[in-house]
Amino acid sequence: MKPFYRWIHITLGTVFLGIGIAGIFLPLLPTTPFLLLTSYFYTRGSDRVNNWFRSTAFYKEYVKDFKRGGLTKKQKIKILVTGYSCLAISAYFVDHFYARIFLGCIAIGQLASMFIIKTKTEEPTEAIMKK
């Protein structure tokens, strides 16, 4: 691969990493899709940068389990509680009727996504320690 394209991939991966990290704190911005894009671009950009990203807590918490095919019940509850708390606070402070309808639609979409994503059983702590 040409070095120029390599740097484009690394740059795009870094941009999506920043957006993904912002998504951790902003309720309407999803985290996992942007971190998946980060993984995609880092894989094509540099082995060293990709290995670094895969060793971060962001990758392990948001991407690794998602790539394995599901989230645990605890993760789903954490996502719903955080998201609904932020949506409720937003709905409380906004005075526009259609904005509240929009926030309600987001809440319904978030709940629907939790039913679509497969629920995994949690691994015992001893099994994790052996890995």
Q: Looking at the predicted structure, is the pLDDT value of residue 23 above 90? A: no
Instruction: Residue count of the chain, please give it.
Output: 131
DSSP 39-60: HHHHHHH-HHHHHHHHTSHHII
Range with lowest mean pLDDT among 27-31, 62-66, 107-111, 123-127: 123-127
pLDDT at site 11: 93
Q: With bands split at pLDDT 50, 70 and 90, how would you rate the model's confidence at 12?
A: very high
pLDDT at site 70: 73
Q: What is the pTM (predicted TM-score) of this model?
A: 0.59
Closest CA to 42 of 65, 69, 66, 63: 63
Q: Looking at the predicted structure, is the pLDDT value of residue 101 above 90? A: yes
DSSP 15-47: HHHHHHHHHHH-TTS-SHHHHHHHHHHHHHH-H
pLDDT at site 30: 76
Q: Where is 73: in which H helix or E strand? A: helix 73-93
pLDDT at site 15: 95
Q: Looking at the predicted structure, is the pLDDT value of residue 82 above 90? A: no
Determine the average pLDDT of the residues in 41-56. Answer: 90
